[in-house]
């Protein structure tokens, strides 16, 4: 009587088949994972770009609300919003000429706020609190600020032909490009004229 040979189980070939199936599944999943990763990166990039491309301020009112309070001490955002809505006396808002001022009778000091257009279409912001008739105060503030890429920078020293003097009053123009500078007695000392992205000095003849 003949005995048929026993069939042997090939465990090794089964393991190879399992591994081959896993490789195929991984290869099929890879394009999907790549697409999901690409979408995630695109979303994150698009979100960052949208945040970076926030609308640029265009009017004096836009800059007035955007400027940080550290440059306008005592005038927080809420108060400035009230001023633009006409809720305080002594406020002048001239959008067309890029000028805002505040000189209330019940306020010891006021300020002027104006924008000067640069050749590239951007603006320089000017702020001065030397608009009071009382020239005994030696703590006047005059600032020139730039706003680019969402950041504010003090450019007063860069744009002035002579050093800023806190004892002088800087009277910003509602019309035109001339800043009148008054001495500590309230007399006109010299004029700063905005031209070619900076201020130029014009002395006043003394009598």
pLDDT at site 11: 43
Instruction: Look up the domain containing 43 and give its range.
Output: 12-53
Which residue would you say has higher pLDDT here, 96 or 40?
A: 96
pLDDT at residue 13 greater than cutoff 80: no
The average pLDDT across 169-190 equals 92
Mark whether 161 and 137 lie in a shared domain: yes
The average pLDDT across 166-180 equals 95
| Tens-digit pLDDT profile for residues 141-154 | 999 999 999 999 99
Mark whether 135 and 183 lie in a shared domain: yes
| CB contact at 8 A, 77 and 65 | yes
| CB contact at 8 A, 143 and 154 | yes
1 found inside a domain: no
Q: Which of 38-42, 48-52, 199-203 comes out lowest in average pLDDT?
A: 48-52
Least Cα distance to 71 among 139, 127, 146, 150 occurs for 127
Give exposure, 74-108, as e/b (b: 16+ Cβ within 10 Å).
Answer: ebeeeebeebeeeeeeebebeeeebbbbbbeeeee
pLDDT at residue 168 greater than cutoff 70: yes
122 found inside a domain: yes
Which two tokens mark 84? 């633009």
Which two tokens mark 193? 């004229």
64 found inside a domain: yes
4 found inside a domain: no
pLDDT at site 63: 98
| CB contact at 8 A, 127 and 111 | yes
Predicted confidence band at 134 (pLDDT cuts at 50, 70, 90)? low
pLDDT above 90 as % of the chain: 55
Q: Which of 53-57, 81-85, 113-117, 120-124 comes out lowest in average pLDDT?
A: 53-57
Q: Roughly how many angstroms between the first and final C-alpha of the chain, as a whole number?
A: 143
Mark whether 88 and 137 lie in a shared domain: yes
pLDDT at residue 53 greater than cutoff 70: no
pLDDT at site 106: 66
Domain count, the chain: 2
3 found inside a domain: no
163 found inside a domain: yes
CA distance 146 to 34: 43
Give exposure, 41-50, as e/b (b: 16+ Cβ within 10 Å).
Answer: eeeeeeeeee
Mark whether 47 and 110 lie in a shared domain: no
In which region does residue 164 sit, left (phi positive, over 0), alpha (psi from -120 to 50) or beta (all else)?
beta
Element at 36 (helix H, strand E) = helix 11-52
Give me the chain's average pLDDT, please.
Answer: 79
Q: Which of 33-42, 115-124, 185-194 comes out lowest in average pLDDT?
A: 33-42
CA distance 158 to 172: 18
- Laid out side by side, the sheet with 99-102 consists of 91-94, 99-102, 111-117, 123-128, 142-148, 151-154
pLDDT at site 104: 74
């Amino acid at each position: 009587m003949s005995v048929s040979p026993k069939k042997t189980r090939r465990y090794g070939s089964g393991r190879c088949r399992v591994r081959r199936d896993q490789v195929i599944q991984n290869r099929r999943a890879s394009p999907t994972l790549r697409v999901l990763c690409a979408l995630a990166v695109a979303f994150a990039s698009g979100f960052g770009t949208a945040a970076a491309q926030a609308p640029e301020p265009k009017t004096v009112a836009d800059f007035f609300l955007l400027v940080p309070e550290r440059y306008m001490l005592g005038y927080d955002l809420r108060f400035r919003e009230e001023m633009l809505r006409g809720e305080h006396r002594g406020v002048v808002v001239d959008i067309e000429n890029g000028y805002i001022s505040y000189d209330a009778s019940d306020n010891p000091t006021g300020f002027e706020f104006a924008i000067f257009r640069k050749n590239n279409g951007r603006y320089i912001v000017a702020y001065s609190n030397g608009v009071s008739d009382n020239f005994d105060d030696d703590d006047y503030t005059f600032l020139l600020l730039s706003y680019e890429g969402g950041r504010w920078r003090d450019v007063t020293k860069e744009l002035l032909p002579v050093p800023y003097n806190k004892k002088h009053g800087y009277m910003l123009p509602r019309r035109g490009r001339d800043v009148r500078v008054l001495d500590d007695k309230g007399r006109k000392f010299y004029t700063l004229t905005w031209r070619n992205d900076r201020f130029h000095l014009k002395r006043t003849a003394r009598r």
